[in-house]
Amino acid sequence: MAALSALDIHKRFGETYALKGVSFEVATAETVAVLGPSGCGKSTLLEIIAGLETPDQGDIQWNGSSLSGTPAYRREFGLMFQDFVLFPHKNVYQNVAFGLQMHRLPDDRIEKRVFEVLSLVGLPGFEKRDVNNLSGGEAQRVALARSLAPHPRLLMLDEPLGSLDRNLRERLVVDLRDILRNSQQTALYVTHDQEEAFSLADRVVVMNAGRVEQIDTPQGIYRRPASVFVARFLGLNNLITGTLHRNADEFVVDTPIGRFRLPDDVVRSSAVFNIGMTEFSSGDRTPVTALIRPDAVTLNAEQANVLHGSVQEISFRGSTCRATIHVNGTPLTFDFPASSALPKAGEDVALSFEASQALQIFPEDS
Amino acid sequence: MDGDRAALKYLPARLFQGRFNRPRLTSVLLWLAPLIFLLLFYFYPLGSILTVSFARAQGSILTPFIEALRSASIRGVLAFTFWQALLSTLLTLAIGLPGAYLLARYDFRGKSIIKALTGIAFVLPTLVVAAAFNALLGPQGMVNYTLMSAFGLEGPPIHFTNTLTAILIAHMFYNTTIVLRLVGDFWSHLDPRLGQAAEVLGANKWNVMRRITLPLLMPAIASAALLVFIFTFTSFGVILVLGGPQFATLETEIYYQTVSLFNLPLAAVLALIQLVCTLTLTIIYTRLVSGLSRPLSLRPAHITQRKITTWRGRFLAGIVILVLLSLIVAPLFALGFRSISNFERTASATARQGYGTPVWRGFTLDNYRELNINRRGSLFYARPTTTIAVSLGYAGATVVLAILLGLPTAWILSRRRSSFFSRSLDPLLMLPLGTSAVTLGLGFIVALDSPPLDLRASPLLIPLAHTLVAFPFVVRSLTPALHSISPRLREAASVMGAQPLTVFRHVDLPLVARALLVAATFAFTISLGEFGATVLIARPEYPTIPLAIYRLITRPGALNYGQALALSTILMLVAGVGMLAIERFRIADVGEF
């Protein structure tokens, strides 16, 4: 059952809509990441869930009951800010103890819990340190300890790694995931970084311009992006406009780089049709955007759909090589295993793919 | 060698120190200007007045103090000075803090009006404040006259002047802007997410206020409270005019002893006692602030402010605004209104001359016309236009002097806060703040009217005195702004090869432009309103506006009362226009942060 439910949340600041009907759920002990570019409304969403802002419309519920009359300080949620916002006039111990003091715990239990969370986040012995002299990574851990200390029903993290450098971020993502898993913490994680979201979250909510684009597991989102926006956001850039029509018993999509046959399941699972395919008669032509996945194409002509192009550039990326190949003047990028025999820049190559593996179609305007 | 120098330019600034002595030399030069100024125009006059007064002291050097403190009347004066300053400070905080909160956290219509109005209140000389409250609640004031004509009374029903209440209310009127500005300014840049973080952790509004906001605001509140305390501790005009003879503070007592009784030794002893008190307070203040100040990440005000949305919020905001406005506007309005009102007193048979029920006979500009008429053929008569020009000239010179001296001082103080040099000299620079204006004026008279430094005829004498008074305020407004600049910014500029002066021009100066304007406002307004020192050193043919008002208000009669109100109104308008111009300039050209 869902612990947290956001139901059709709207919020407007003056003339601009920050949120336009956002709904999703977070289950107990689950980590959900809200992923989207900056300005998509994800921070406003957190503030509304925390009770720091009120929605214009919609409701936030906990275990099925509305929180609309509950002020932030009674929600028993935790919120970790992007730049941590540690209390500058308190030391590490006092920062972590603050939430416990607000819940009127006896001093000995506060002390026990502070030591407990500080060792959980890997900072034992930091109690007396001045928070103004902590490194970025240390401040991040203190902020995490502070939000975890009062055992929040829901921990919200607003770009908690956003202000840290890349190496530190990669290490802390792992630590953070372990901490959240081990403490069975229900968590909502807001970020613009897909790697962070994918490595931390059980499920991901992709947001764009105040709306939810897709909710799925990280694998599900990567395997099957729900819209052109999501595909682009994930860096899947082989997007070609074309027309979809029915040719006898099968669907085909005509594009500037060729005609591809589509299996029924690719068409059915796409957002192009809300109606059954039987109603799509053979004369109809629908504009669509087709995605060719960069990692599902082989360097031979053995599979069903074949492309011919010239290699523009090859760049080495560790386990894979990324090739930019012009097909009929359209630049496409593909990832091949680095171990395979690779063409050189300037060579003409043949490529092939199975439509069910590599091809996806979206309504044109999405 | 030159090649080495060039390589050094690309190393972090830290590595230079001790190896490269140019910055240190610059610092010393920057120190010298304010230091020489203070030596010549503060320590030398003070030394002179003390030498003169102790010349007649018998026995040990402490004897005059012990004798003074043995006297019950002096002890009474001392106790009352503390008592009224404490009460004034608490009341000013009580009204100023809610106002500061409102101005800092909310964006609402009329906000700039409140800021400007309280600012105007602050720039008014204490004499004008006194005149304004007199015009509102005094025996010839609006309220009493209205009540008298409504109920046919022949004497004023409300006794306001010559009470402690009058002193306290005038002090609140005068000093609320200090709390609004110092605390409100700091508050408006305080990250509201600190409060939100606490709220999410389970702190209700009260706990957020008590455990997060107030502790973080403490340096600002403490400095505002201390300024108000020192101000009211050395308050002169308000006590003199509104308090009347039965209330004596150290300041008025020094004045009486000097001017009326020519008892310079006792005046000097009192001045020294006052100086010790205010210096102690200043040292406490400096320690307090340096102990409490933290590298806060300040936020631009437009991010921290929001609109008032709830009706409860609107109601509470309305009350705060109403109280502030009625405190400030009512007396000022009464001053303006009363200065153009024509009252006729209809005396009954039993009433003495000049008494009787007043009847309002409409508006008149007689009070203003009288300013240009020299009825008594006084030798020291000055037209109000001359008076205004003289005052503005002095104020302009004061701004230039105070900024020229204050900026380098603040810069050094903010850079070397922890050094022994800075920590010992910081309170020293603040000394003029704790020295009463009357003492400063007296020092000037004693020290600067004979060689080696004869400035009696110099037009700079008054700006120099005003600069002395304004200097601590200028430094106090600039130092926190300079201090809040992250050292990393400076290092970044240094690493890119910028000389210290270039760093200052491109990094520090744009960031403190706003504080600079606040400082200039302080200097300008302090000069316009300064009375205590000016009354002793101004040349009689070139009186400043406050001086002209004082001359009128000390003479009896309804005519002089009317003229005092008229001139007070003019000063109120001049100061108000200046203040609004600066406020407008600030918004138009310097965006906040």
* Nearest partner of A364 among A288, A286, A266, judged by Cα: A288
Exposure letters B431-456 (e unless 16+ CB within 10 A, then b): bbbbbbbbbbbbbbbbbbeeeeeebe
Residue range B424-463, pLDDT digits in tens: 666 667 677 667 788 888 788 778 777 677 777 778 889 9
CB B290 within 8 Å of CB B476: no
Q: Give the C-alpha distances (Å, rounded to integers) separating B211 from A69, A234, B203.
A: 24, 44, 9
Structural domain ending residue among the three candidates A185, A207, A227: A227
Residue B13 has pLDDT above 50, yes or no: no
State whether B201 and A98 contact (CB < 8 Å). Answer: yes
Q: Is residue A232 in some structural domain?
A: no
Nearest chain B residue to A50 by CA distance is: B200
CB–CB contact B200 A85 (8 Å):
no
Band of the pLDDT at B67, cuts 50, 70, 90?
A: confident
CA distance to partner chain B, nearest, from residue A202 (Å): 24
Q: Beta partners for A155?
A: A78, A187
Going by pLDDT thresholds of 50, 70 and 90, the confidence category of residue B17 is very low
Contact (CB<8Å) B295/A132: yes
Are A53 and A175 within one domain? yes
pLDDT tens digits for range B91-139 = 999 999 998 988 888 887 777 778 777 877 776 777 788 888 988 988 8
Rounded CA-CA distance A257/A186 in Å is: 47
Per-residue pLDDT averaged across B203-208, rounded? 90
* Residue A224: half-sphere exposure toward Cβ, Cα within 13 Å: 13
Partner residue opposite B199 with nearest CB, options A52, A81, A88: A52
Write out pLDDT tens, residues B215-225. Answer: 888 888 988 89
Which of B207, B212, B297 is facing A87, going by the closest CB pair? B212
CA distance B436 to B434: 6
- A14 close to B (CB below 8 A): no
Task: Tally C-beta pairs within 8 A across A and B.
Answer: 69
Q: Is residue A33 part of a domain?
A: yes
Last residue of a domain, one of A167, A196, A227: A227
Quick one: DSSP state of residue B504?
Answer: I
Looking at the structure of chain B, the number of domains it has is 1
B199 CB near a chain A CB, below 8 Å?
yes
Question: Is there a single domain that holds both residue A152 and residue A271?
Answer: no
Confidence of residue B78 (pLDDT cuts 50, 70, 90): very high
pLDDT score of A331 more than 60: yes
Write out the H or E segment, with its range, that includes residue A62: strand A57-62
Please report where in the chains the tokens 């605001």 appear, as a residue: B217
Model pLDDT for residues A174-207, shown as the tens digit of each residue: 888 988 888 899 999 999 998 899 999 999 999 9
Q: Is residue A321 part of a domain?
A: yes
Buried/exposed A289-315: b ≥16 CB within 10 Å, e otherwise: bbbbbbebbbbeeebebebebebeebe
Residues A57 and A203 in one domain: yes
**A30 and A136 housed in the same domain:** yes
Query: A337: which strand partners?
Result: A320
Sign of the C-alpha dihedral, residues B79, B258, B435, B134?
Answer: positive
pLDDT at B588: 34
A204, A215 Cβ separation under 8 angstroms? yes
Mean pLDDT of chain B: 78
More confident residue, B21 or A321: A321
Asked if the structure places residue A140 within a domain, the reply is yes
Residues A212 and A290 in one domain: no
- Residues with Cβ within 8 Å of B359's Cβ and at least 6 positions away in sequence, in order, are B149, B343, B344, B345, B346
Judged by a CB distance cut-off of 8 A, whether residue A175 touches chain B is: no
Write out pLDDT tens, residues A88-124. Answer: 889 999 999 999 999 999 999 999 999 999 998 889 9
Using an 8 Å CB-CB cutoff, list chain B residues near A81.
Answer: 193, 197
Half-sphere exposure of B214 toward its Cβ, with a 13 Å CA cutoff? 10
Structure tokens at B10: 């690309």
Residue B360 has pLDDT above 70, yes or no: yes
> What pLDDT was estimated at residue B114?
80
Mean pLDDT of B373-390: 69
**Chain A residues with CB inside 8 Å of B198's CB?**
87, 98, 102
Q: How many domains in chain A?
A: 2
Average pLDDT over residues B487-506: 69
Same domain, yes or no: A121 and A64: yes
Choose the most confident range, by mean pLDDT, from B146-155, B241-250, B389-398. B389-398
Q: Is A23 helix (H, G, I), strand (E, B) or coil?
A: strand
> Residue A153 — pLDDT band, cuts 50, 70, 90?
very high
Please give the pLDDT value at position B159. Answer: 87
Q: What is the mean pLDDT of residues A312-325?
A: 88
Mean pLDDT over B29-47 rounds to: 84
**Span B545-564, average pLDDT:** 80
Mean pLDDT of A133-138: 88
Mutate: best of B107, B201, B210, partner A, most A CBs <10 A: B201
- The span from the first CA to the last CA of chain B, in angstroms, equals 41
CA distance readout (Å), A225 to A137, A267, A355, B326, B388: 33, 14, 16, 63, 76
Tokens of A150: 């009062």
Is A75 at the interface with chain B, CB within 8 A? yes
pLDDT above 60 (res A69): yes
Query: Please, what is the end-to-end C-alpha distance for chain A in angstroms?
Result: 32
Query: Is residue B558 within 8 Å of residue B98, measured between CB atoms?
Result: no
- Give the mean pLDDT of A133-140: 88
In sequence order, which ranges of B293-419 are alpha helices (DSSP H)? 301-304, 311-339, 366-370, 384-415
pLDDT-derived band at A10, boundaries 50, 70, 90: very high
CATH number at residue A353: 2.40.50.140
Mutate to test the interface with B, among A82, A98, A104 (most CBs of B within 10 A): A98
Reference B196, options A90, A150, A80; nearest CA is: A80
In a domain, B58, yes or no: no
Within a domain: residue B548? yes
Question: Domain of A150?
Answer: 2-227
Q: For residue B195, what is the domain's CATH number?
A: 1.10.3720.10
Beta bridge partners of A11: A19
Measured between beta carbons, the chain A residues lying within 8 angstroms of B211 are 98
SS3 of residue B412 by DSSP: helix
